[in-house]
Amino acid sequence: MEFISGLFDSVNEFLVAQLGELGPLIAVGGLGVLLVVAALPSLLKKQKDPFKSLRENRTDAAAGKKQDGLRLCGKNEKLERFAQYLEPQDEQELSATQMQMIRAGYRSKSSIQMFNFAKLALGIGGLVLGTLYVLVAGGGSAQSSVLTVLVPGLVGYYAPKYWISRRVQAREDQINSGFPDALDLMLVCVEAGQSLDQAIVKVAREIKASYPALAEEFEIVSFEMKAGKDKAKVLRDMGERVDIQDVNSFITTLIQSSTFGTSIAEALRVYADEMRDKRVMRAEEKANKLPTKLTLFTMLFCVPPLLIILIGPSVYGIATDLNGGG
């Protein structure tokens, strides 16, 4: 034991003498990088699935072109190799992550893999940049050096999550802004004699330039209805994807109107009036918050110059008198 302890002490002293105080940490990090590089060939070497080869070799008998199944499109083949590492293994967590990506507007089948890959790549990239900065510029004490390495890594790791949260919030704001206009247009279409399905298609086409997020949701609803899916289930799925209270209330109103046989046009008229009132209330709320938000900036940028203008000459005069009297 004494021999092993002495060997560790001598190695530690050698690393500190050669690389500085962070010598043992740099050595452990380099060993970890070497182990990762050594393990990459075994991870990349993967036997090809025979069923996948069969699908790739399948051709269209009439046209002689490859047939791509509906469930096979939209995947990233490079990331698909590491799906077990880039996707949550828990089904509930996977479903929640997928719903979060859908609400952010990323509907690709490889969106979850891209999201986790971005977190991993940016996190490792931040650690590498922090390490290079410490090696080149010097980090001072050991604690500050560790923080210099870890902080960029944490920022890179959580940056994709922050981006997704911002995307979700931006889509929600856009849907809230365009929903009253969409209801008014839908009401006009229904009162003109169109069915609800035709009105949804028309609304999705007309508002696509102004509110693309809301138009995309209505397009999905129209496609699912054309595919023969139950109308109530389609509308509930839209409410789950959007997760906005006003939209969920509107969907509940439509389902109840269809169930009890009441007039959809009348329900749309009442709900459209309510949505317009809510939009006015939200605008008034933002206007009322504006003076409070401007108070801080007013104090920061207006009060100091005003104090300098008012008190500055007096302070200068007092300082001159004191210097003259001295």
User: Is the confidence at residue 48, as pLDDT, over 60?
Assistant: no
Please give the distance of CA 114 from its chain centroid, rounded to a whole number: 12
The pTM assigned to this predicted structure is: 0.64
* 256 φψ region: left (φ > 0), alpha (ψ -120 to 50), beta (else): alpha
pLDDT tens-place string over residues 128-170: 888 888 888 765 677 777 888 888 889 988 999 999 999 999 9
Q: Are 130 and 139 in contact (CB under 8 A)?
A: no
Token pair belonging to 9: 């002490």
Identify which has the larger pLDDT, 299 or 15. 299
pLDDT computed for residue 82 by the predictor: 56
Reported as a single tens digit per residue, the pLDDT across 166-197 is 999 999 989 988 888 899 999 999 888 888 88
pLDDT band at residue 73 using 50, 70 and 90 as cut-offs: very low
- Which of 213, 100, 91 is closest to 161 using CA atoms? 100
Predicted local distance difference test score (pLDDT) of residue 60: 43
Mean pLDDT computed over every residue of the chain: 78
Q: Which CATH number fits domain 171-286: 1.20.81, 1.20.120, 3.30.420, 1.10.260?
A: 1.20.81
Q: In sequence order, which residues have a C-beta less than 8 Å from that of residue 212 and are 6 or more positions away?
A: 174
> Quick one: CA torsion of 200, 206, 209, 215, rounded to 10 degrees?
0
| pLDDT over 80 (residue 119) | yes
Domain range annotation of the chain: 171-286
Instruction: Say how far apart CA 90 and CA 80 lie, in whole Å.
Output: 18
Contacts of 14 (CB under 8 A, 6+ apart): none
Residue 169 confidence (pLDDT): 92
Residue pointed to by tokens 């330039």: 209
> For the residues 318-325, what does the mean pLDDT come to?
76
